[in-house]
Structure 1
Amino acid sequence: MEHQQQEHYQGEIDEIDPLSDPEEKRVLFATLDSFRQYRHAAHYNITHLRRQSFYSLPTTHMTLLSSPPFALPKTFDAVDAAIDANAAIADAVLAVALSTYGIPAENNDWRGKATPADMDKVRSTIRQLYRDWSAEGAAERAANFDPILSALDEAFAHVPLAKRGHLAVLVPGAGLGRLAFEICRAGYRVEGNEISYHQLMVSNWVLNNSREAGAFGLYPWALGFSNHVSRASQLQRVAVPDVVPGVVLDEASESLGSEVHAFERMSMSSGDFCVLYKGDEYREAFDAVTTCFFIDTAPNLIAYIETVLSCLKPGGVWINNGPLLWHFESGPQPGEKKGRGSLAQDNQGIGEAGSFELTDEEVVKLVEHMGFEIVQHTPLGPDTGYIQDPRSMLQNFYRPSFWVARKKEI
């Protein structure tokens, strides 16, 4: 069921009301509570415990480190201020999410539900705003999104810019919505799909409620104390969002002369990719599917490929860019734990038992075997970080595989 969240962005709600299913309700409430607890948990775990350890030092050591150029107590104060800035984002996301799901703020049913895993997710999701919605994250976005956007334009070069809005593109694992936004900005009709409530709540906040570029300060590296060259690096502030999505999409529609305005071309679905898009409703519904840092979230990649085959039109293209950090390699196996969307999955999708890991060569061969023609394949692309502090003493990079596959016409 679709509903208009705001004039800029049309969102979709699960066919099953999350508040009507106990497991969905539990996960939703835990997510909401993790945003509520962000401020208190960060102050306690990041600065309070460090102050306790600091003041347990021998007096002479503590005195030395309290004075310039070290001045650690002042650093703790600065980190506390950074936490408060990040928490302002968490509070804003929470307020929008409560309204979206029709939960009164004074309702206490959802409070106290977050687990340590939920708290880890809220910290990483807020930090991800650096990559997706700050000017400083543009280099990472360019490395990951530009090849996809270029391949889309190449695949549909025969379609006039004004008519791109009649081409439907699916973005599974849409995250905070930036890739879907950029595809819509380029003129296409786009539907993002995301299973994580954390990601959905933040993307909804950015896309539907941004009124001013740079309205919030984000300190992406403040909560970690390792591998910093200077305190200035640790306490780097970036402004988010870097753009007002609605304004940019409006301007893009005008400049492209789009027959379908961007506000009518962008939507988001919530739920398990395999469950939602294998159904008859989406059979051969999309001209393109774009996956970015996504396919390695599959416990069973065959199920992902079958889903893309089902929802992609004959002759449609699947554009992929990303590494193979198989998410289930060292964690709980599918079927061993309950998770997001248990009722909607009905023992399908990401919740099914069984998993395996393939090499990049094997992935491409599997995609071919199951009904695609590989049009382009670059197995080791340029180095790219993922929410990487470029000034950190520790640099982690991926060399993602990029490929374009075309669904064979039978």
Structure 2
Amino acid sequence: MTQTAIPYLFMRGGTSRGPYFNRADLPEDRETLARVLLAVVGSGHPLNIDGIGGGAAVTTKVAMLSPSQDAWADVDYFFAQISVLDRMVDFKPTCGNILSGVGPAAVELGLVEPTSDVTEVKIHAVNTGAKVLSKVLTPDGVVTYDGDAEIAGVPGTGAPITLNFMEIVGSSTGAFLPTGHLRDTFDGIEVTCMDVAMPMVIARAVDFGLTGHESADELDANTDFFAQMEAIRLQAGLAMGMGDVSKSVTPKFGLLAPAKDGGTIATRYFMPWNTHPSMAVTGAQCLASCALTPGSVADGLLERPDQSPANVVLEHASGTIDVLVDYDTSEGFSLNSAGLLRTARKLADGRVFVPSRILEGH
């Protein structure tokens, strides 16, 4: 079988992992591109045995980078979520954890020149239109991955990468509250449908008979909960103007509960057909915004801070994540920006091989 080699970086970004490509090395048309990415990951097998995926939604993600077409940005970041089993490619969402590796990858791929000991990389997330300023440590003009920063869900420490998200309200639907309401009810469950960095359907854990402190494995084993959640998500997707979302990973689903380990609020995040082992960067911004918004389903679950910017500490299935939220509540809730700290690490680089017949359209 003739194979075609494609240059790539293999990186961990935040609590996710996947290949990072120069967009110029991949097919232009989406249909062929999707076939290539399915082959790269090995979708269709629980272990992704015929590809480089890791058998989990957080390890079957792809980043594609190119010089930006946006006047503000340095680099365009195009994301794809590949399913583990179903041979599906979703180009609708973005991923903030994989975005953590975009700054270092852009320097490694020669798309951005390091400027000093800290290089600012302006990133345009083309899937949603979000703009993100990433600060990457580049002493002597070389990306460093060593450092003392820790993030929950990743062993050890690494060099800190700061991400400042701007213009993220209504990134997918065009509205902070896509249904026009602070609360909606589907199948008897109250939810807040919100679009900040990621469109989400957010509910109180107690309304599903849960504490909100369950482990990811405990939640994944609760098939009745997942069936109930998916039915609500499908109805909410229609109400949010997103159409039939049965084959889309968006909107994502989130649960809220009172904090128990000193954080601001307890959260669980769903991808949406299994539980995220930690927390998505984009989801964290939406959940933090929901927590800060008076009248949302978060009412009564936390003591809201009385000043901005506020550091919102979300407890999740693996620990905590801090979201620094700059906001205004003089007329409802208005988000200015959200900042997070992540780490990333280059794991490998070289060429990944796909059957040549895929590129020929057969």
- Structure showing greater radius of gyration is 1
- Give the structure with the higher percent helix: 1
Fold match, TM over 0.5?
Answer: no
TM-score (norm 2): 0.26
- Give the structure with the higher percent strand: 2
TM-score (norm 1): 0.24
